[in-house]
Chain A
Amino acid sequence: MPKIYVDGKECEAAEGQNLLEACLGLGFDLPYFCWHPAMRSVGACRQCAVKEFKDENDARGRIVMACMTPVTEGARISIDDPEARAFRAGVIEWLMASHPHDCPVCDEGGECHLQDMTVMAGHVYRRHRFGKRTYRNQDLGPFVNHEMNRCIQCYRCVRFYCDYAGGRDLSVFASRDSVYFGRSEDGTLESEFSGNLVEVCPTGVFTDKTLKKHYTRKWDLQAAPSICVHCGLGCNTTPGERYGRLRRIRNRYNGSVNGYFLCDRGRFGYEFVNGDKRIRRPVLRERPGEEEQIDAGEAIRRASLMLGDGKRVMAIGSPRASLESNFALRELAGPENFFSGLPDNEHKLLRLVLDILKGGPARSPSLSEVGRADAVLILGEDVTNTAPVEALMLRQAARKRPVEKAVSRKIPEWDASAIKTAIQNEKEPFHVAAPFATKLDEAAKAVYHAPPEDIARLGNAIAHELDRDAPSPEGLEGRIAQLAKDIAEDLKDAKSPIIVSGVSLSEAVVKAAANVAWALEAIGKKAALSYIVPECNSTGLALMGGKSLDDALKAAAHGGFDTLVILENDLFTRAGKEEVEVFFECFENIIAIDHTATRTTSAAGLVFPAAAFAEGTGTLVNSEGRAQRFFKVFDPEGDIAEGWRWLGRIMEESGAGTAWSNIDEVLESMASEVPELQEAIDAAPSAGLRMAGQKVARAPQRFSGRTAIHAGRSVIEPRPPEDPDSPLSFSMEGFQPKGLGKEPPPELIPQFWSPGWNSPQAVIRFQDGTNGGLRGNDPGVRLINPAEAMPGYFREVPGPFRPRKGEWLVIPVYHIFGSEELNALSPPVAGLIPRPYIGLNPEDAVKLEAPPGEEVALKAGGLHLKLPARHMPGLPEGVAALPVLPGVERLRLPQWGVVARPKESAA
């Protein structure tokens, strides 16, 4: 590691960094704007000026921009140099010339990087006496507010939006001192990652519009480390709460998972927690149409009556409930009566994925590893819509090899604009096979749009090219054989190839992906195999075991069950309406535990109010197999409690044991009952941990008004709620992590804050060197690890897709907004959910005389749907697409169906 001297102090800097990154990593305060840890340097703002000296005899030195100067052995710099300080203060003076100084009414106030840097740079007195430039703002949609007058032209927004995230509708306009960042006209930002602008912008140009609706200053937000519940990736988040309402979600840095960014589903889907469909007290429904709220003790007593006394109980778990809650349910009903609540196909695919990842040598990569892959093959997944942040990582992987090439030409990796110039639009090993055009197609060198069977065949052909022992599809078209050969070459050439697939389509696709990864392993190449799963605990539920929903329907039809307990699962989103209704008829009692009223809870005789993610503590397992703990952010009003807590109390009441007193006890029982989940207990420290004898404070030290919040009811200040489940306190009292060296384990850091660093940039004070993981290891523990041995390949390869006359293969389409149940309940997201449709190949649509928007009828699986037609580019002939959206009845897809003009089908 090169030695550098900063103000005479000898320090060790990391190789391949610039001076700014080195100084920040070493803990020096050096202000900056345009540099961003993920996007690196462009040298625009000129804020990080330091004095550089030639050698120890050089007393004059010269001003350089730290972000544009490489670390070199023996470099001597001064941050403190008077000329450098004066210049940095001068830069702020310039930036402030037109800044509106509207901090008191600006949503960014209190967590503004511009405020922090102004204080750090030391500019205090305004000399500029002329007018300020002003701009018109734009309506950018429901997520992001625009206030251009505050802009300091650091260019980070467009660099993130366009260069990093592949967006096209945000740009920089005009020039000189009237540079404008926005869209060509008003309109909702089109990128799935637009919400990151809120954190990327160093001041209040782009702010969170959902927060604005119920605004609270950062220092008044109570927070806890949390995990996003809106897809299977498990991005780390920081939800903020005040007065019992969730106010916003911020990214929580995890160097091994989501890094610096979230998707808009994850950031803005949270409002279901504040929704009016929330269940806050136990509900008793003795006769249809009659319901009454009852107290918790009464509800538990009634539940124990429905469960005890030799009653036969069936339990249905959920991929959106925590490990602990699912485990508690499994305990209540017994493993043999525990069902996953997932339809057969999804249930089996998830189990298959587990078997592949545990039984074979290909390792499931962490999200950050996905971003570092140097060759990508996507098989059958529209990643942008099913696992958005993984798509963002894959976009970085697409640049990996061109960047490496540029670096080999001596262009430093941190020099973002030089890298951009050098690599232009070079496309490196990135291949997409999907059933229709996807957003990631634009990053790909080769794109193959085909039905699921043919995608699986391509995968197998690639595997066979890599290793002749792998099965080969018969009768492969020459064009596809060549494509398979090319892709195989690219994968073979790579150092860290990745195969991305998922459970959206079919078993054959999942198996084909495994064959490719295993074939790479067989020829001595470490291959990452990333399967995308739909929900936040799909993987955890699969590890828990149990049987499918179809098994449950069958078992119930056989009779003999008295009571059904459904945990955080709306079965109407899993199976057809009639099936579910018939199923419910099989039981005398139905108990539902959920946080939100659904058609399922409406059918239950007894409903317990479950905690939403921000109101409880639990563990989720993401698609990597990483168990991560989310903590209760606030103590909710009403009787709301975690599913596992209700279940424990019910079991105690019915004499089936003693209720767990905290989550650690649940995890201990789970460890002994389900060995596969044993290590989940290590996902976070146990509740007993103390920092300097204290719990870690959830609220910032400047949290205001604790004594006044309840004064309207009583002047006697209530005790802060107890938290038996974690070493976190519901208060600003307690240990405050400051990023100065003594921190709790990163799993327990509610918000990143450090003296002088109030913005999200404070995370640099908690990293192991600039851009490193969190000090003390990135949170999470892997529950899935690959086997050493090579299993046999999956031998069966499907035949080619054959279109049927008069029939269509109906496949599912996922949408970032709406295809997951909970985000659809968040009002800002709801407005962006597409209207239901039936997707058709444009040629097919012409044959059906169905122009876009024209209603067509779909008959499949006993269902009869009438929806407007949508022409989908890339969708093969003979294939129709049905979106997974609220209001569209659930079908088990893919399956064959008939699409017709409504008149004809009626006839």
Chain B
Amino acid sequence: MEGLTEKPLTGHLKPDGEALDISEYEGYGGYEGLRKALRMGHSEIQKEVKEANLRGRGGAGFNTGLKWSFVPMGKDAPRPKYLVANADEMEPGTFKDRFLLERNPHLIIEGMIIASFAIEAETAFVFLRWEYTLAAKRMRRAIAEAYERGYLGRNMLGSGFNLDLRVHVSAGRYICGEETALLNALEGRRAVPRSKPPFPQTSGLWGRPTVVNNVETLSNVPHIITGGAEWYRKLSRSGDGGTKLFGVSGRVKRPGLWELPMGTTAREILEEHAGGMADGFSFRCLIPGGASTEFICEEGLDVKMDFDSVQKAGSRLGTGTMIVLDHTVCPIAALHNLERFFAEESCGWCTPCREGLPWVARLLGAIEDGEGEPGDIETLREHTRSLWVGKTYCALAPGAMEPLKSGLAIFREDFERHIREKGCPSKRERG
């Protein structure tokens, strides 16, 4: 089949960094998935995607087909229904969705149309991070092209299916990436998460059934329909289906982004694709999937980068974009930086997150500045327990605690020396 490659997401991108326009996209077999989908039943599409084991690329790793299957279908279902592409990519160290938005917008649009058709949604939104101005421009242009060719709007390709697609540019908060906070923001309310249940699939945008999927997730959908679940699963080196955009930032030789099979090891990504550490820098550890995952050290590098394997290794795949810490980075400073980010991005709704994170950030700042006190490590450790899943309203604070929790164990010596020696030892050593 034309268009099918080992790299369904990035295989046909233009080398000059421009976006594929609609003719180029169609030239590679674009919108064939949609044509096929329109001939399939809603449940058939859902089943195919479920069997492909496409798992949510926003970081939670929930089976996409399964997520769709909770949407009430048929005549009695509440209407209108909505599909939202979560393009509010604000996870520190993560730049994978941006790549797709800027380079392959039609792939996202096609994925969104198929997803909307699968759940009978009549309106879809791209909820876009506000700093992504180039992406906004390219997405809007691509949407206009798709309308022109009859892929969007009323009676799409003569199928009787109607879909409107719009870009909504976020006002710019990290919490908007949380799907329910995103929905509140899209409704024009404060970006505060909602409690679940009810899940968005039953009571989402304006109280109607809604599916929120990550941009990368949706980009996989056309190929699953074209190539089938089995082909898609085989792209992977593990149980999770398909490929994944992996990224590396930090002091490596070639920081960047690559589409690789699910289950590629961290070591292969780091050493082969990113070219290993830059000269004069040695590897200390990495955060595998954006800021809200636990550290992986040298001995963990052989972990297969897929949802279950990384979880088993004590961390999370998250967004699959790793931040590498080298020997010159003070881990306390790095953690302080991260926690300050999370504290600032707390929406202020629940007490543990709103009040706990700033305290954590200030404690880390104090320790970094040589003003740490002996009890501080215990206070931090308590926070890693009390800002945990179920105790906070949403996953922001638990996410923030993941690097801290592992950092307190891995860098215990660094913490103690900072407190004992009233300052950063490495800074002092470097003069």
Contact = CB atoms under 8 A, between A and B. Distances in A.
B15 interface: no
B187 to A, nearest CB: 8
B209 to A, nearest CB: 11
A411 interface: yes
Q: How large is the interface on A (under 10, 10 to 19, 20 to 34, 35 or more residues)?
A: 35 or more
Nearest to B363: A130
B300 interface: no
B155 interface: no
Interface string B207-244: 10000000000000000000000000000000000000
B354 A176 contact: yes
A422 B203 contact: yes
A216 B361 CA distance: 42
Interface in A418-462: 418, 421-424
Interface string B326-346: 000000000000000001111
B198 A153 contact: no
B350 A43 contact: yes
B207 to A, nearest CB: 4
B238 to A, nearest CB: 30
B44 interface: no
Contact of A177 (B202, B355, B375, B382): B355
Contacts of A130: 359, 362, 366
Interface stretch (A62-70, A303-311, A364-372, A680-688): A62-70
B57 interface: no
B350 A45 contact: yes
A175 interface: yes
A176 B339 CA distance: 13
Given A46-B350, A175-B347, A411 B198 contact: yes
A802 interface: no
Interface string A453-473: 000000000000000000000
Contact of A176 (B198, B346, B375, B391): B346
B356 interface: yes
B40 to A, nearest CB: 29
Interface in B56-111: none
Task: Classify chain B: how many residues form its interface, as a range.
Answer: 35 or more
A281 B202 CA distance: 70
A417 B347 contact: no
A87 interface: yes
B392 interface: yes
A43 B393 contact: yes
B315 to A, nearest CB: 22
Given A127-B379, A176-B343, A418 B203 contact: yes
B351 A45 contact: yes
B358 interface: yes
Given A64-B390, A421-B207, A47 B351 contact: yes
B206 interface: yes
A716 interface: no
B351 A91 contact: yes
A177 B346 contact: yes
B173 interface: yes
Contacts of B43: none
Contacts of B366: 130
Interface string B245-257: 0000000000000
A172 interface: yes
A94 B351 contact: yes
A91 B387 CA distance: 10
A49 B350 contact: no
Interface in A359-411: 406, 409-411
A44 interface: yes
A100 to B, nearest CB: 15
Interface string A49-84: 100000000000011100010000000000000000
B153 interface: no
Interface string A129-172: 11000000000000000000000110100000000000000001
Contacts of A179: 348, 354
Given A127-B379, A411-B198, A424-B207, A175 B348 contact: yes
A73 B138 CA distance: 55
B349 A44 contact: yes
Contacts of A417: 194-195
Given A94-B356, A177-B358, A44 B393 contact: yes
B355 A94 contact: yes
A46 B392 contact: yes
B386 A87 contact: yes
Interface in B181-198: 190, 194-195, 197-198
Contacts of B382: 90
Contacts of B425: none
B423 interface: no
B352 interface: yes
A410 B382 CA distance: 36
Contact of B352 (A94, A129, A418): A94
A424 B204 CA distance: 11
B133 to A, nearest CB: 23
A864 interface: no
Contacts of A68: 195
A128 interface: yes
Contact of B391 (A87, A175, A410, A411): A87
B173 A175 contact: yes
Taking each of A42, A94, A98, which has the highest tally of chain B beta carbons within 10 Å of its own beta carbon? Answer: A94
Nearest to B355: A94
A415 interface: yes
A418 B343 contact: no
Given A43-B350, A175-B348, A418 B393 contact: no
Interface in B356-403: 356-359, 362, 366, 373, 375, 379, 382, 386, 390-393
B347 A176 contact: yes
B192 to A, nearest CB: 8
Contacts of B194: 417-418, 421
A411 B194 CA distance: 13
Contact of B195 (A155, A175, A406, A418): A418
A692 interface: no
B73 to A, nearest CB: 15
Nearest to B383: A90
B32 to A, nearest CB: 38
Nearest to A131: B362
A62 B359 contact: no
Contact of B359 (A42, A97, A176, A415): A97
A175 B345 CA distance: 8
A424 B194 CA distance: 14
A410 to B, nearest CB: 8
A523 interface: no
A153 B206 contact: no
B348 A153 contact: yes
Nearest to A415: B195
A203 to B, nearest CB: 14
B354 A63 contact: no
Contacts of B344: 176
A46 B394 CA distance: 12
Contacts of A410: 197-198
Closest 5 CB pairs of A and B: A94-B355, A179-B348, A422-B207, A176-B346, A175-B348
Interface of A: 42-47, 49, 62-64, 68, 87, 90-91, 94-95, 97-98, 127-130, 152-153, 155, 172, 174-179, 406, 409-411, 415, 417-418, 421-424
26 contacts: A43-B393, A44-B351, A44-B393, A45-B351, A47-B351, A62-B390, A63-B390, A94-B351, A94-B356, A127-B375, A130-B359, A152-B351, A153-B351, A175-B346, A176-B345, A176-B354, A177-B354, A177-B358, A179-B348, A409-B202, A410-B198, A418-B194, A418-B197, A418-B198, A422-B198, A422-B207
Interface of B: 173, 190, 194-195, 197-198, 202-203, 206-207, 343-352, 354-359, 362, 366, 373, 375, 379, 382, 386, 390-393
Given A90-B386, A97-B359, A153-B348, 6 more contacts: A87-B386, A129-B373, A175-B346, A177-B354, A417-B195, A418-B195
